[in-house]
Structure 1
Amino acid sequence: MNKTICELFAGVGGFRLGFERLNSGWETIWFSQWEPGARTQWAHDCYVSHFGDSKDMNDEIHTGEDISTMDKNAIPDHSLLVGGFPCQDYSVAHTLASSKGIEGKKGVLWWQIRDTLIAKNAPFCIFENVDRLLKSPAKQRGRDFGVILACLNELGYAVEWRVVNAAVYGAAQRRRRTFIFAYKKDTNYGLEQIRKAPESIILSEGLMSKAFPIEKAKEITETDIPTDIVEVSDKFAFDFRPAGYMVDGHVYTTDVVEKEEKPILLGEILQRNVDDSFYITDEARMAKWVYLKGAKKIPRVSSTGHEYVFSEGPVAFPDPWDRPGRTMLTSESTLNRSTHVVTDPGTGKLRTLTPTEAERLQGFDDEWTNSGMPQRMRFFCMGNALVVPMITRMGRILDSIIANEP
């Protein structure tokens, strides 16, 4: 089997970089990155500056366009489909043309993945999403992930998943993300896994358990995913846990105790004596930072007239050097509660992170996004990115799986 990758929702190339660091022969043959409403496609341009562009099977370039307009049959064949797609409303309805057809809400990007799977039939897939995917929406918990599993089951895939805190597995950021590994049941790997006990796949025999080792699994809960995706959308709810496995529509899921590794500490990635623009020197701004980071109890009135107290606890200020960084958001470096504020190792003064430090939090090479984009966009792209070493960990296990495929 050729080690070829198609990367959807590619951002600045975290999946690709993670696989290329393996130096094991992976080739990304097509990608797509498009930011809706953006006049300049900064992430796409950054990706191309590192890797070059990709032509489709019609010898045309459409990598920086809306993926929904792409003819999926023109995407080059690949053995691995990857993508970090956003958590959205995955509800569906029957189409008017056919009671068997389904129609998702416009702009929901999961359907672009599904359409690509239908067109190209990739034997293996790795997807990334936020940790709350397993529990959304709040009024029908588990429905959205259930829709995804139902789609994959319908297309002949078995699925493993894990919610991974990157810092637990040696990274510099306490970033929790859901990783999904789907594979065709008729691959050699699929045929081997089907013969194993589901508990062993979750504990030690699956790609996820090998990439992200665990000490033990707790009691497993089970359920069946309906075969009708619309029924899943309308009625299905289930308490998915952070680790799980699905085959033939039957779900096994549990909490796990992870084998923790030594993380990279925030103090280890900090630069010294950075540019003056990053320091907090204005007294009024400093007072605002103190307020935003502090504990609060604020009386409020809801739209229905209900009075309540909004409360939140304090955020460490400044962020401690002896822990991994907190989850970085797209708003990093702006004046808000979630932005990291650190003590500069050289000057001892308080400041925000530099773009290079943001890249280090995500495990990218230094100056990865220094490709002409504005500084605010460098932070935005890193806030959207994934933790690259987590991809390399999964890729290392996938290397051994691919080696056993014809």
Structure 2
Amino acid sequence: MSIKVVELFAGVGGFRLGLEGWNGKSASSNYTKDLKSNYEVVWSNQWEPSTSIQHANLVYKDKWQGANHCGDDIDTIASNEVSDTKVDSNIPDHDLLVGGFPCQDYSVAGVNTNGIEGKKGVLWWNIHRILEVKRPKFILLENVDRLLKSPVNKRGRDFAILLATLSDLGYDVEWKVINAADYGMPQRRRRVFIFGAHKASGLTIEEGVDWISQNSVLGKSFPSQIKGDRKAFELKGSAVEISNDFVHGKFYNCGSMVGRNILTFDYTPKPDNNINYSDFGSLKDVLIDHGKVGDEFFVDSKKVLKTPIIKEQKPSISLSYLQMNSRDEAVLLTELDKWKYLKGRKAEKRVSSKGAFYYTEGPLSLSDDINLPSRTIITSEGGSGASRFKHLVELEKDVLYRRLTPLELERLNMFPDNHTKHERVTDAKRAFFMGNALVVGIVERIGVVLSKCIKESQDKSALQHLSESEN
């Protein structure tokens, strides 16, 4: 059984690694054990707007040399301005469409002769266009979890538009917000995964709490049980009407849509103890020997700034890691002081056109607990500059710390070591890739379960056909 895949918004290939593995090995084993995969990526696309050098494409093409990979703007390949015939010829036939698309404003402007008219530059409509023409049996998409409650002034509207348009194309859908760390993976990273099956695919998506929690593709992949209230309603109206008048509020962290019937609820994770979701489970597991780390990653209290930095504070404030002088000022003398200041409690005096005010922030831990899964990687993780949100590992308290290397960031997302290393790609850009990437182990687990579900569905269909022919 071969499952042909199209990968959109491919980045540096997280979906592909999860489905195909790397050199036949699995992400869950840190690429030491075999992964028997039925998946074949037959076409992929990655294009970053507003940049002259397509760095992600450089990495992708380097890792999958000879792959049918396209680096053109997806709007020129599949949009309302491209005919059905052209879209069909641009993109190969496939069984499964995957992609991590941006969270944007999905509001519908109207419907014209070319189909639904969404806001220009919103990439969901490119996915919709491909589904409209190609009708793959399955879809697996990834997004930030705020998609379920966006926009602020009409909670849940954006996700409702996605669900309605998928239903109109013949897909039933299930979704689940998955925190990788809840299932033994080394990073606390929450993302919503959306799985859809076309009504003609032979794979059935059902309603019901138990089915969604334990027996669906996502439920079997990441078992759970209901927590709190549930919400059920029918998603009525056209995409335009839903865009204008959606009133049901935010969607919960998992659920299903069968036809236009919605069931959604929050859940408590219930990992299967018989499954090894990842060989790496904490920050400590991904760290390399400190002696092999370049000097640029170390933050040393002995590194004195050329010019002290003075930050005036509200008199009543108590700083977390620094002392104020008699003039209620934080005085930063070393490189480490900058990190302490940014990560600590503060009430910094600032001046705007309306006058002086105090900008306040609460305290964060100066260093990360290496015995726990890491905090979420962000796109600004790279670069040597001090930051409130970058990771720091403590080597000697109040004396020596270090940032995470690109290789360690790759491991936190369960990529192969040095997957993003390229002569034209900086360490900061490599960190940016990982801030945008998904946790590969999640895709791998879903892929394994989906493959089994497809086979079971095909076997059931074959038996039914045999029985009917005998009768």
Indicate whether 1:209 and 2:219 are aligned. Answer: yes
Give the TM-score normalised by structure 2.
Answer: 0.78
Match of 1:140 among 122, 133, 154: 154
1:108-145: per-residue Cα shift (whole Å, max 9, x none)?
A: 10011001101110110100000111111111111111
User: Could you say what secondary structure the match of 1:171 adopts?
Assistant: coil
Match of 2:283 among 266, 270, 274: 266
Indicate whether 1:78 and 2:94 are aligned. Answer: yes
Distance 1:306 1:4 in 2: 61
Match of 1:235 among 230, 245, 249: 245
- What does residue range 46-125 of structure 1 map to in structure 2 within 5 Å? 46-55=59-68, 63-70=70-77, 71-73=86-88, 74-95=90-111, 97-98=112-113, 101-125=115-139
Could you say which residue in structure 2 is the equivalent of 1:2?
2
User: Could you say what secondary structure the match of 2:418 adopts?
Assistant: coil
Distance 2:208 2:362 in 1: 40
CA shift at 1:300, angstroms? 7.3
Could you say which residue in structure 2 is the equivalent of 1:280?
299
Match of 1:391 among 429, 434, 443: 443
Indicate whether 1:381 and 2:433 are aligned. Answer: yes
Change (3 A) 1:225 1:308: farther
Distance 1:53 1:41 in 2: 17
Indicate whether 1:289 and 2:296 are aligned. Answer: no
Change (3 A) 1:309 1:179: farther
Indicate whether 1:350 and 2:350 are aligned. Answer: no
Change (3 A) 1:75 1:350: same
Could you say which residue in structure 2 is the equivalent of 1:367?
418
Change (3 A) 1:135 1:306: farther
Change (3 A) 1:276 1:255: same
Change (3 A) 1:287 1:205: same
Amino acid at match of 2:75: S
Distance 2:36 2:350 in 1: 56
Distance 1:357 1:37 in 2: 28
Unmatched tracts of structure 2, length 5 or more: 22-34, 78-85, 305-333, 462-471
User: Could you say what secondary structure the match of 1:188 adopts?
Assistant: coil
The answer on whether the counterparts of 1:159 and 1:181 sit within 8 Å (CA) in structure 2 is yes
1:89-109: per-residue Cα shift (whole Å, max 9, x none)?
A: 1111114x45x9421111110
CA shift at 1:29, angstroms? 0.1
Distance 1:43 1:252 in 2: 38
Q: For the pair shown, which has the larger CA radius of gyration, 1 or 2?
A: 2
Change (3 A) 1:387 1:296: same
Change (3 A) 1:276 1:300: closer
Change (3 A) 1:235 1:312: farther
The answer on whether the counterparts of 2:414 and 2:439 sit within 8 Å (CA) in structure 1 is yes
Indicate whether 1:19 and 2:19 are aligned. Answer: yes
Amino acid at match of 2:391: H
Match of 1:326 among 342, 353, 375: 375
Distance 1:23 1:367 in 2: 23
Give the TM-score normalised by structure 1.
Answer: 0.90
CA shift at 1:344, angstroms? 4.6
User: Could you say what secondary structure the match of 2:106 adopts?
Assistant: coil
Change (3 A) 1:203 1:371: same
CA shift at 1:322, angstroms? 1.3
CA RMSD of aligned residues (A): 2.3
Distance 1:234 1:396 in 2: 39
Distance 1:131 1:300 in 2: 34
User: Could you say what secondary structure the match of 2:268 adopts?
Assistant: strand
Amino acid at match of 2:418: E
Could you say which residue in structure 2 is the equivalent of 1:257?
268
Could you say which residue in structure 1 is the equivalent of 2:41?
28
CA shift at 1:189, angstroms? 1.3
User: Could you say what secondary structure the match of 2:153 adopts?
Assistant: helix
Distance 2:180 2:40 in 1: 25
The answer on whether the counterparts of 2:74 and 2:126 sit within 8 Å (CA) in structure 1 is yes
The answer on whether the counterparts of 1:363 and 1:389 sit within 8 Å (CA) in structure 2 is yes
CA shift at 1:309, angstroms? 6.4
Could you say which residue in structure 2 is the equivalent of 1:43?
56
The answer on whether the counterparts of 2:137 and 2:197 sit within 8 Å (CA) in structure 1 is yes
The answer on whether the counterparts of 2:47 and 2:54 sit within 8 Å (CA) in structure 1 is yes
Amino acid at match of 2:449: I
Change (3 A) 1:229 1:338: same
Distance 1:336 1:54 in 2: 38
User: Could you say what secondary structure the match of 1:49 adopts?
Assistant: helix
User: Could you say what secondary structure the match of 2:408 adopts?
Assistant: helix
Unmatched tracts of structure 1, length 5 or more: 56-60
Distance 2:416 2:260 in 1: 40
Could you say which residue in structure 1 is the equivalent of 2:25?
none
The answer on whether the counterparts of 1:203 and 1:217 sit within 8 Å (CA) in structure 2 is no
CA shift at 1:24, angstroms? 1.9
The answer on whether the counterparts of 1:269 and 1:360 sit within 8 Å (CA) in structure 2 is yes
1:196-235: per-residue Cα shift (whole Å, max 9, x none)?
A: x422221211111111111444432112222300111111
Change (3 A) 1:226 1:52: farther
Indicate whether 1:151 and 2:165 are aligned. Answer: yes
Change (3 A) 1:110 1:302: farther
CA shift at 1:296, angstroms? 3.1
Identity across the alignment (%)? 43
